[in-house]
A and B are shown apart, each in its own frame.
Chain A
């Protein structure tokens, strides 16, 4: 009997089309898995069991009636709680939105529904996507399925952990400074941040509007490609949405799967490695480069000297934009209200009670960076650094097809280890932030387990703007080379999770 929850989304889609399995049984298998393990993992903030089964049953009925269906119809999915979902609670991990039921769908939510994918539920995240560990979720952290005492990454730790725990074959994430790629790295899964504007942000609760980008998360490069093509495309409701066609992600992933890398040049970014990177991370990264060379790739080193300023620029631009975006949470139109005598007092009391510490820190930092007398020195300088970083990327892409680095300097750390040290937490994103500042696409794929702790290491690929297909082509090739070296998907090597009575009873 096929263990359906461990299958790839591509395999599920093919089996559904061939009538080997029904969407109801696939969806029920994932709901059972969630019931069995999510008490420990806490990847989901809300489980949409009835809604998911209803979609699944409708897909099965249409398929039986011979209706033509989209490729992923009937394949279940988890959606990060940053996307609004009509009729389903949406909190962005914040108390200030507890119990809120949005009156409309995000464009990506609509596309998922139109693709006829049963929505399993909403995945956990750091509050308003501010964090790298999900420890800033107002509803408690998600635990890494590889070691429940460790962080699953963030902000999209729920979306990544759901994949690694086989609670969902596909999930959606959002990446402002690495919130898709860093969780993928530390959970041994795949995550893609598309070119800025490649996926509509309409209905995505905004963190930093010039950096935010939604993207696909899966356990394989091909699965991420399939979801990318569902999510992407121009949307008149998002003025920053690109008019260019959705990149041929699936074709590129399939082309890459042959493992041939001849004619491809990988540019190793000198500034994103070396000192401060864990030994096992460096080792697995070097081994992946060796595998690429053996498959015909050329490997060169590129220098991006402005990257040393990326983290500082990011922690000015992000709080500045976030402090403005979060002004809408004022207790007037939706969400929490802590009533006081005047509206101004009400706003201040509501935000004090509704926001967690990290949100308060960043809103205050952003208010500072934008205040008179400091604007030029802080926000203005940071925007100039963005230009320098774009120039560094442009020069580097003259020499390489894709640029590569470890996704994260370390394997996942223990929950609680960095919670009181915001600067240490911010260093998680040092290798992922430059892509957001420049608007270019990036991907993280598993690079194996660090020998010293047996925890996942991520390999990051970056491509020029609009060239997302290069990530799938090269990422797909590297994945097939690396999977062959450890005998299948990395996620399959994760320790078995304890299951509660829910699954055993079935």
Chain B
């Protein structure tokens, strides 16, 4: 497994939609690299014949009756919206100039 460089952190931050200043990158990159080194111990473990566990208590096909239940009104759902218009969430333009 490879270590995590400053440029990798910058790229991951873009993917995760978190703006990072140079200061942020300086501060977080070293810490993240140390964490990645620590979790990389898993690479030493032979697990090729071990099944994965994604959920601790096995469950399948969890269903309930398809009945309509009370839900939030549009006014309730929009009450905490940063911006709303015509019963919808209002956001800035979706595509940038380059699109």
Contact = CB atoms under 8 A, between A and B. Distances in A.
Interface of A: 100-104, 195-197, 210-211, 236, 239-240, 242, 309, 311-313, 315-316, 323, 327, 330-337, 339-349, 351-352, 355, 357, 360-361, 363-365, 367-368, 371, 374, 377-378, 380-388, 390, 422-423, 426, 436-440, 465
B80 A334 contact: yes
A360 B17 contact: no
Interface in B70-99: 72, 76-77, 79-83, 89, 91-96
A384 to B, nearest CB: 4
Contacts of A341: 92-93, 96
Contact of A104 (B57, B72, B83): B72
17 contacts: A103-B80, A309-B42, A332-B82, A336-B82, A341-B96, A343-B93, A346-B91, A360-B20, A361-B31, A364-B28, A368-B12, A368-B36, A383-B53, A384-B47, A436-B56, A438-B56, A465-B56
B16 A323 contact: yes
A315 B32 contact: no
Nearest to B79: A103
B93 A342 contact: yes
Contacts of B56: 196, 210-211, 386, 390, 436-440, 465
A384 B52 contact: yes
- Interface-centre pick from A102, A196, A348 (highest chain B CB count, 10 A): A348
Contact of A385 (B38, B47, B82): B47
B89 A422 contact: no
Contacts of B83: 337
Nearest to A103: B76
A357 B27 contact: yes
A343 B92 contact: yes
- B interface: dominant SS: loop
Nearest to B45: A309
A439 B59 CA distance: 13
A335 B80 contact: yes
Contacts of A239: 59, 62
Given A104-B72, A377-B1, A196 B28 contact: no
- Interface-centre pick from B12, B16, B72, B80 (highest chain A CB count, 10 A): B16
B94 A342 contact: yes
B39 A465 contact: no
- Interface-centre pick from B19, B40, B53 (highest chain A CB count, 10 A): B53
A439 B57 contact: yes
Contacts of B9: 364
Contacts of B22: none
A102 B93 CA distance: 27
Contacts of B72: 103-104
Nearest to A369: B39
Contacts of B47: 381, 384-385, 388
Contacts of A313: 42
Contacts of A323: 16
Contact of A387 (B15, B34, B51): B51
Contacts of A382: 42
B41 A309 contact: yes
Given A344-B94, A367-B12, A390-B53, 16 more contacts: A102-B80, A210-B54, A309-B41, A315-B39, A316-B39, A336-B82, A352-B20, A360-B28, A364-B18, A365-B35, A381-B45, A384-B47, A386-B56, A388-B47, A422-B34, A440-B56
Contacts of A351: 16-19
Nearest to B27: A357
- Interface-centre pick from B1, B12, B92 (highest chain A CB count, 10 A): B92
Closest 5 CB pairs of A and B: A439-B56, A337-B82, A383-B52, A352-B19, A384-B47
Contacts of A331: 82
B7 interface: no
B54 A195 contact: no
Given A309-B41, A315-B38, A101 B80 contact: yes
A334 B64 CA distance: 29
Contact of B39 (A347, A360, A363, A378): A378
B57 A360 contact: no
A333 B89 contact: yes
Nearest to B72: A103
Nearest to B19: A352
Given A333-B89, A365-B36, A439-B56, A316 B42 contact: yes
- Interface-centre pick from A197, A345, A381 (highest chain B CB count, 10 A): A381
Given A383-B54, A385-B45, A344 B80 contact: no
B93 A352 contact: no
A465 B96 contact: no
A348 B18 contact: yes
